[in-house]
Structure formats: structure tokens, C-alpha cells
Amino acid sequence: MALPPSVFTTVATNIKHHLYTKKGFNRLIVEKPFGKDTESSRKLVNDLGNLFTEEEIFRIDHYLGKEMVKNIMTLRFANIFLGAVWSKDYIDNIQITFKEPFGTEGRGGYFDEYGIIRDVMQNHLLQILSILAMEKPKSLDSEHIRDAKVDLLKSVKPIRKEDILLGQYIGSEDGVKNGYREDKTVPDDSITPTFAALTLFIENNRWKGVPFVLKSGKALDQLKTEVRIQLRDVQDPMFANLSRNELVIRVQPDEAVYMKMMNKKPGLSMDILISELDLTYNRRFPDSKIPEAYEALLLDAFSGDHTNFVRDDELDAAWKILTPILNQIDKEKIEPIKYAYGSRGPVEVNSFIEKYGFKRDQQLYIWDEPSNKSKV
């Protein structure tokens, strides 16, 4: 059901009455958004639960079908050298970034009702966070994995107002692209954010004190989704101008995993530079076909595998994290910061992430991507 949530119950009721079979199996695949807050989400869960069992319901979030998101568990739990540093003792901060280079053209009416936090963060980014930070599941059984994700989400502290930054795009600097409010389907005085940065803290022994910065926005400079894990500084350094090690998981485009590290510059000197251990999929697996996320998830649904689908209590835990701050944003009518279409977002985001310990490279670093060279 890739439909407006307002008709989920009506459609599901008719499916149950006219199409439900007792001879084979039934699969009800529900596309987001799963409500707008905790209350509406619970009502939707209850309404659908009166018609179908939890075993028959598959709440689909296509990011859970993306190759690099599915690879996070393997990276964490199949590699001892990564597992050993996966905690507050070695990790200083983590950023999860979602960028889109287009605005809401043609769907501003829908988007204005939800905003970027509900549209992207409540589902895609919280799902990535839960897999990144959860404890090791008891097994690869789908319920054990989802149990671990729920436990993690329940450990996230309430979000404070000072831990958010909101933005809304205006027209591009060259005048070619219109601003958000210039969309005819958007109210002229809309303060719905099209960009948001939220910082979450997890109250458990593994992650206490480590900031998880979630950033997402529309009408930005590029298409990119990535996880950037910045490790702590080297203690008592012998070398000058050290940059921090970073593990980067590029979800899209050009799937990759690379570790930024310090390396001796080739030659006779002892000068150092930033290099990388690079696993770029286009180079390492040139003949492999990575299926589209929906392809993989639909196959899982047909097979009855719930691993990469959202369980009812997981959904509730995610909404509990965001509903209080969403209510505060709506009540106080917080005005978003303006940023130009095609930019990197509000310029204030740089000081925002630095407030949580992020340090920029001491040297210029160029990563040789498959399609181009860019600063990262």
C-alpha cells in the first residue's frame, strides 16, 4: 500500500473482506509514512492489527533494503578489528547524512504536512542508527535482530531544543530554481523545515556521551547518503598535523566503505598525509549486480522474512524519540534558517556539528571516487 495514510485502514479493510485467503499466505506491505506522531502511529497500528496479524504485516522502509545498510551488521559483527573500537572508548562522534539535490517540486502539498523530520529522519535515519548502535543480537533470526533494535531505540535520551537546527530552502543563487514557499502547493507563510540536523545521545554503557548527529535535507548540492564515524584523537602524538581516523560507509551513490588514515608520504621524507583503506564496490565487485532496495525487500516479504521490516514496538519506540521535539517545534513555531537551493544547507550547520566534537581534517583530503574527485 503506497497510499496516503488516511486511506490505509479503508483499503486494508476491503483487502481483508474481499481478498484474504485461508488456503495460502497473506502479506500486507505498508509503505511509509506510518503516522505523524506517537498517537497517530498507535492508532494505525491498532487499526491494521484488528485486520491482520503482525506476522502478516510488513512495514517497508526501502533504506533497510539498501546494500550498504544491510552490510552494517557484517562490518560490525564479522570483523574483530572494527568490533573492538565500536564504543565510546574509541569513537568521538557519528554523523548520518541524507542529501537530495532536488526540492519538493510537485509534491509540496504532501511534504508540507510532514516535513523533513517525519519524512526522512523518523524512518530512514533512525533505522540506520539503530543498526549502527544496537548490541549484538542473539542470532540472525529476524526477531532477535528487531529485539536488539528496539532495545537500542529505548535507550535514546529525549531531544533537547538546543540539539536541533532547522532550515528551509529559498531560490538558487542563479535564480533558476524556486524556493520552497514559491511552490504553488505550499502555503506562502509555511515554516515547515526542508533541512534538519538533530543530535541524539544514547544512555547505555557502550555509547554514553557519544553524539549521533542526524542531518537530512532537500535542494542541496548533491545526492548522498553516508555514515561518518569519527574516532578520537591519537594520544600523545609523535607527528604534527594529525587528522582523525574516520570510517565512512557510503550508502548512495557509488556504494563504498573506506577508512581515512594517516600514512607516510612516499619518498625519503617522514612527511605524513591522509590516505585511505578503500573498498569501493564499483572497483572491487565490477561484475556484481546490486538489486534495487525494493526488489530485495519485496522478495523478503514474499518469503516471509521480517528481518528488514519495522515491527510495531520498534515503530512506537522511534516515534517516542521524535514526537516530543516535533510537538515543541510545532507549538513554538520555530522559524527555519534560510539556505539557497543547491547549497550545502544552512551555513550554521558547520558550527552545529563542531559543537558536538567533530573536527575537520588538518590537511586537504581528496577521495578518488569512481565517478569524480571530491572533497569529503
Catalytic residue positions, numbered: 124
Single out the residue of 60, 375, 350, 91 nearest to residue 215, CA to CA: 350
Structural contact between residues 217 and 341, judged by C-beta atoms closer than 8 angstroms: no
Going from the C-alpha of 126 to that of each of 131, 200, 276, 298, the distances in angstroms are 9, 10, 28, 21
Return the C-alpha cell found at 255. Answer: 556504494
- Report the Cα 171 to chain-centroid distance in Å: 26
Single out the residue of 73, 93, 86 nearest to residue 244, CA to CA: 93
Single out the residue of 180, 217, 216 nearest to residue 105, CA to CA: 180
Q: Assign 3-class secondary structure to 208-250.
A: CCCEEEEEEECCECCCEEEEEEEECCCCCCCCCCCCCCEEEEE
Structural contact between residues 244 and 366, judged by C-beta atoms closer than 8 angstroms: no
Single out the residue of 9, 10, 80, 20 nearest to residue 45, CA to CA: 9
The residues, ordered by sequence, that sit 6+ positions from 177 with a Cβ below 8 Å of its Cβ are 103, 171, 219, 341, 342
Distance CA(300)–CA(29), nearest Å, equals: 11
